[in-house]
Structure 1
Amino acid sequence: MRIAMVGEPSRPLTALTSALAAQGHQVSHEEVVPGHGEVDAGLVERLRESWRAEPPEVVHAHSWLSGMASALAVGDRSIAKVLTVPTTVSFDPEVQRLERLVCRRVDRVLAAGGAQVRRLAALGVPRGQITVVPHGVDHQQFTPDGPAAARGQRFRLLGVGDIAVYHRFDLIVSVLAALNDVEFVIAGGPVHGNAEAERLIRCARHYGVEDRVRLLGPVEDMAALYRSADIVTCTPARSTFATIALEAMASGVPVIASAVGGLTDTVVHEVTGLLVPPLRPADLLRAIRHMLGDPALREAFGAAGRDRACARYSWERVAADTSRAYARAAYGIAPALG
């Protein structure tokens, strides 16, 4: 198939493009500058011109604005239109109106998991128009085997992501005083000049654990850092795509996560890790104590997580699922498996 990707450059988009190309598809990428709430007329014209001589069979957009721009550029031509639903949830009525309009203009909507399916249903998207295609992980980069980052004798809890309020790293900091010989390492940034980073440092000082909280900033070798952790914690208060949990699982590290968004699809409770109610420090503390107190349990969760990441979330599997969604959008049928 000739496929035109439309979206902002990103590691997941590059990985999906490569995996689709490996399956024999001809894939191009129309890069999009992040929008600010309005469809860019210049983008619509650029897409229309790009597809004039040799139109793609499928256009795959990766944001609401690029979805609308793609639909306008395609017009009434027989080009299948596919949209991957972004993670951001907006409660702005104008944004929700745009979301409904885009869903009506595309042939198939790809959702990463159950939370997004429910969100789309609330927007009035028919279930038959939705295909669940999870995000993938590079299970050859993130593996249990290989060098691990240096660490001391303490247990290591690892948090990963931009240092922003919605990640709720402060929840881990708040329970650290009740955990002996445990450090909390955060990989992500920015650190300097970041109000949330400064708040986390004040929070650590307030609980008397400043010496056990480390803000590393951006880390180049994340695979080695994952291998150094006893537990990876993902405790956001709202929906997320669960990329960090996937990378931890592929690395053979157990996960403790908030039961929100894509985390509820990715982390299997009491199989690959533990799910806890969001914003509940007492439940979070119990889960950490339980897992740190049982090395065999951590090993079992890590092994099961690795198996699940390779079997369900490899980019090869994600590309195969995406290809079937393209066929449904273009021809109304899915190709046979095998």
Structure 2
Amino acid sequence: MTGGGYPRGQCLTPEREGPVRGFGRGRTGKPAQVRVAMVGEQSPPVTALTSALTALGNEVTGYGHDEVDGGLVDRLREGFRAEPPDVVHAHSWLSGMAAALAIGDRPIAKVLTVPTTVSFDAEVQRLERLVCRRVDRVLAAGGAQVRRLAALGVPRNQITVVPHGVDHDRFTPYGPSARKGKRFRLLAAGDLAVYHRFDLIVSVLPAIADTEFVVAGGPLRDNPEADRLIRCARHYGVEDRVHLLGPVDDMPALYRSADIVVCTPARSTFGTIALEAMASGVPVIASAVGGLVDTVVHEVTGLLVPPLRPADLLRAVRHMLAESALREAFGAAGRDRACARYSWERVAADTARAYARAAYGVAPAFGDALR
């Protein structure tokens, strides 16, 4: 390990996993190389933080789909032998195990970012426990994951909360808005999947006058969930007020056109849509599940409602639509929170502090992590 400053790190990341990346400093105090091994294509969040890391003098590399197998261990072992890192940062249970096997008993700190998915399979849970025992520090996106890790037996002092970030320069209240009529607009976004429970919003729409519901996300073709939402809208007689847009390129403009962004998942998510809405200055109504509980501050940046409770959702929507000043206040507070807590700079600094804890047992001050 290096004798001072921050450790160099290598990161292993599967496709569409968490966007957290680390950075470090070497023995000279100058920025040290970070080799990020991203398994699968880069998602926009990963690209955003990669740019920040590159600006700090770090280097990002990637691994393809075909390397998520036994060959990954050999490749990592060879790489670690040629240039031993101070910190290895894995972003899934399998890549965490591969990294641990590649490192062996060498004095290299191991950091794991916990995926959002929760498995109830006994074999998978055994793997999760095993990986947690093999790493030095575990990064959780929020309280729900901390509780999940505690259930796996991970000591609290081994866990660091590092949330996912948002590009608050792209998602901003300032700029053009998508075209909109005179109706209020409720907006939801994300893949058209059952667990998002967009049908709950459709079910309360008959009781909300002069309001449309717009869904951004897909796919629309050959998608049973898209067909189900269309049938649901017909059932409730609101097919003229429900609009499935499919994937949308200019999401910032669409967010700015919304009066409320509604997130109603039935299970844990990172809360990326809520974060983007908050950065855009739009109030949020969200199910009190997973990362949404950490992201949305109830009665400050929006409203939290119990999951799968249409009556509570209806009351929240009616209350917020009736108070324009409340919507403006929630939107302004959400923007402030997104910029202060969820900027990529802040996320990177938090990750660097976690690296230092893993490698040295100490954490630098926030300002030092940015220098």
**Shorter-chain TM-score category?**
over 0.9
Equivalent residues of 1:324, 1:335 under 8 A apart: yes
Distance in 2 between residues matched to 1:128 and 1:27, nearest whole Å: 30
- Shift in CA distance, 220/199, structure 1 to aligned 2, threshold 3 Å: same
Partner SS, residue 52 of structure 1: helix
**Cα deviation code 1:266-317 (max 9, x no counterpart):** 0000000000000000000000000001100000000000000000000000
- Of the three residues 12, 35, 51, the one matched with 1:6 is 12
Residue of structure 1 equivalent to 2:53:
20
Distance in 2 between residues matched to 1:89 and 1:27, nearest whole Å: 31
Structure 2 counterpart of 1:285, one-letter code: L
Residue of structure 1 equivalent to 2:33:
none
**Cα deviation code 1:197-245 (max 9, x no counterpart):** 1000000000000011111110011111100100000000111100000
Shift of 1:163: 0.2
Distance in 1 between residues matched to 2:11 and 2:155, nearest whole Å: 24
Residue of structure 2 equivalent to 1:54:
83
- Of the three residues 81, 101, 106, the one matched with 1:72 is 101
Residue of structure 1 equivalent to 2:364:
335
Residue of structure 2 equivalent to 1:194:
223
1:100-119 equivalence runs, <5 A: 100-119=129-148
Correspondence 1:280 to 2:318: no
Most deviating of 39-48 and 286-295: 39-48
Partner SS, residue 215 of structure 1: strand
- Of the three residues 134, 137, 143, the one matched with 2:172 is 143
What is the Cα-based RMSD across aligned positions, in Å? 1.4
- Percent identity (aligned): 81
Runs of 5+ consecutive residues of structure 1 not aligned to the other structure = none
- Shift in CA distance, 34/237, structure 1 to aligned 2, threshold 3 Å: farther
Structure 2 counterpart of 1:88, one-letter code: T
Residue of structure 2 equivalent to 1:92:
121
Equivalent residues of 2:92, 2:114 under 8 A apart: yes
1:1-338 equivalence runs, <5 A: 1-8=7-14, 9-24=42-57, 26-31=58-63, 33=65, 40-338=69-367
Equivalent residues of 1:3, 1:27 under 8 A apart: no
Q: How many residues align?
A: 334
Distance in 1 between residues matched to 2:321 and 2:200, nearest whole Å: 17
Equivalent residues of 2:350, 2:366 under 8 A apart: no
Distance in 2 between residues matched to 1:324 and 1:34, nearest whole Å: 32
Structure 1 counterpart of 2:256, one-letter code: R
Partner SS, residue 168 of structure 2: coil
Distance in 2 between residues matched to 1:271 and 1:57, nearest whole Å: 41
TM-score (norm 1): 0.96
TM-score (norm 2): 0.87
Structure 2 counterpart of 1:304, one-letter code: A
Could you list the structure 1 runs, at least 4 aligned residues long, displaced by more than 6 angstroms after superposition.
none
**Cα deviation code 1:131-168 (max 9, x no counterpart):** 00010000000000001111111100000000000000
Runs of 5+ consecutive residues of structure 2 not aligned to the other structure = 1-6, 15-41
Structure 2 counterpart of 1:253, one-letter code: V
Distance in 2 between residues matched to 1:129 and 1:22, nearest whole Å: 29
Equivalent residues of 1:4, 1:27 under 8 A apart: no
